[in-house]
Amino acid sequence: MWRGDNASGRFEDFRVPAQENQTILDVVSWIQQHRDPTLSYRYACRVGMCGSCAMMVNGVPRWTCRTHVKVALKDNRISIGPLRNLPIIKDLATDMDPFFDKWVAAEGVHHPSRTRDDAIEQIDPEDGARLEANKGIECINCSVCYAACDTVAGNADYLGPAALQRAWTLFNDAKDAGKLSILEAVSGKGGCHNCHSQGSCSHYCPNDLNPMAAIAGLKRVTALSFFKGRK
């Protein structure tokens, strides 16, 4: 298990008793409760909803509360580290600020189209854009895709798969009035065009979402917008 911060650190060995039903988060909690109370890590819901407990398990990003020890065990050992591509605060806790700052930079925020005095907009659940938007709404902001992305690793400005998928979801949302500002935000130097379509985001997403397809969608609409002379 990784111990340390951004400046220095090392992997430390712990022996943890095996149990029939045991997640990676159970292992981390056992070490913190029985071996070293100074261990820092982050979790909240323990049922795969809050997106807090993602870590690198055997070198790949996973949601630790829903990852069974049995699937990760290699030669009776597991390596557990802080999420890749984010600054380490201490041990397994990373600073998520860059990740969430990029959500805002990608215009992944609600742009209201009506006031409280207007009637609620009627949404057709079978509408094509609505169906496209639906594909991304189960994102739990766990940053697994961000940690998996090699483009993020090589390009610090790149907004990353989660933020861009959020932008694509809002672009397809009839209740969002910020389509042009979204297009502008994802067309800049850290925008969707930096994606190499390697697909690690979609491969590792614990909720089986497809950020790579969302980014391809953004590339399509920005290309059309480019030909229309908007940007």
Partner 1 sequence: MLTVRLYMLQRITALLMAPLVLGHLAVMIYAVQGGLSAAEILGRTQGSVAWLLFYGAFVIAVSIHAAIGLRVVVHEVLGLKGMLLDLFTWAIAAGLFLLGGRAVLAVTLS
CA angle 63, 52, 87 (to 5 degrees): 95
What is the size of the binding site for partner 1 (CB under 8 A)? 18
182 phi/psi in degrees, rounded to 5: -65, -45
Instruction: Read off the DSSP letter of residue 47.
Output: S
Asked if 154 interacts with partner 1 (CB under 8 A), we say: yes
Of 4-12, 117-125, 128-136, 148-156, the window that binds partner 1 (rule: CB under 8 A) is 148-156
| Dihedral (CA of 96, 97, 99, 103) sign | positive
Asked if 116 interacts with partner 1 (CB under 8 A), we say: no
Q: Give residues 189-228 in contact with partner 1 (rule: CB under 8 A).
A: 189-191, 193-194, 219, 222-223, 225-226
What three-state secondary structure class fits 75? Answer: coil
Q: Is 177 exposed, middle or buried (0-12, 13-18, 19+ CB in 10 A)?
A: middle
Q: Is 188 exposed, middle or buried (0-12, 13-18, 19+ CB in 10 A)?
A: middle
Nearer to partner 1, 91 or 107 (CB): 107
Q: Give residues 22-41 in contact with partner 1 (rule: CB under 8 A).
A: none
Asked if 85 interacts with partner 1 (CB under 8 A), we say: no
The single residue among 22, 134, 155, 207 that binds partner 1, judged by CB under 8 A, is 155
Question: Which positions touch partner 1 (CB under 8 A)?
Answer: 151, 154-155, 157-158, 187-191, 193-194, 219, 222-223, 225-226, 231
